[in-house]
């Protein structure tokens, strides 16, 4: 996609999981990004350090001692990510209050990959603490980690691109399908509104 085909003046981004935190970082640091859809993301940078100009956000780490593996070889990482609320981990927090654009946070309350519902609340708390109301939250009971566009197959388990192993994503099929259907319409409305 050439940049000339982008309608402008602003750009919107959509990301899921690690991609969602990259979307949060993009809208925070890149002024041309004016709308970010963050699906099942973390409000802190995770796994690898993020460099932008002179600034570095360290990544929260996964503690592999807190990962359980089922008899079928599925990894449960729900408790494994370092706690973003621990003051020692505050350098990892994405300073989203600097963003001038708008956020749409989408989470499944049965996300088993990590605590995306909590992370969305942390992001909202940070924005409100700085007097910002430039966000909306879509939270879906019974939905898991990968809230993809409608008619995308529902998978409770998927190979994680970062860890390279099958990871439990959570969710119940009917509730997850509803989340995919409902959120897709709301995502499109959000992008039409802010772009």
Helix (H, G, I), strand (E, B) or coil at 48: coil
Provide the token pair at 189. 């409305």
Give a three-class secondary structure readout of 90-112: HHHECCHHHCCCEEEEEEECCEC
Q: Are strands 33-39 and 102-108 parallel, antiparallel or unpaired?
A: parallel
Sequence-separated (6 or more) residues with CB below 8 Å from residue 24? 36, 38, 41, 43, 94, 96, 103, 123
Helix (H, G, I), strand (E, B) or coil at 166: strand
CB atoms under 10 Å from CB of 151, counted, come to 9
pTM, to two decimals: 0.93
Q: Please write the tens of the pLDDT for every residue from 127-158.
A: 999 999 999 999 999 999 999 999 999 989 99
Domain parsing of the chain, residue ranges: 11-194
CA separation, residue 48 to residues 42, 57, 140, 182 (Å): 13, 9, 29, 32
Phi/psi for 66 (5° steps) reads -100, 10
* Per CATH, domain 11-194 is 3.40.50.1820: yes
Q: For the chain, what percent of residues have pLDDT higher than 90?
A: 89
Mean pLDDT, residues 26-47 taken together: 96
Residue with tokens 């973003």: 84
Mean pLDDT of the chain: 94
Examine the pLDDT at 1 and tell me if it is beyond 50.
no
């Amino acid at each position: 996609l050439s940049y000339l085909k982008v309608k402008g003046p602003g750009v919107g981004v959509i990301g899921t999981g690690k991609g969602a935190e990259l979307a949060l970082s993009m809208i925070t640091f890149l002024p041309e990004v004016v709308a970010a859809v963050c699906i099942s993301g973390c409000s802190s940078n995770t796994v690898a350090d993020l460099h932008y100009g002179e600034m570095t956000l360290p990544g929260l780490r996964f503690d592999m001692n807190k990962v359980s593996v089922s008899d079928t070889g599925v990894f449960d990482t729900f408790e494994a990510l370092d706690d973003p609320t621990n003051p020692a981990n505050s350098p990892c927090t994405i300073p989203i209050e600097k963003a001038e654009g708008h956020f749409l946070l989408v989470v499944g309350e049965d996300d088993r990959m990590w605590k995306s519902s909590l992370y969305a609340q942390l992001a909202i708390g940070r924005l409100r603490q700085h007097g910002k109301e430039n966000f909306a939250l879509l939270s879906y009971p019974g939905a898991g980690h990968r809230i993809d566009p409608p008619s995308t197959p529902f998978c409770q388990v998927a190979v994680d691109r970062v860890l390279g192993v099958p990871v439990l994503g959570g969710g119940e099929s009917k509730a997850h399908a509803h989340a995919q259907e409902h959120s897709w319409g709301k995502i499109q409305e959000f992008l039409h509104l802010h772009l």
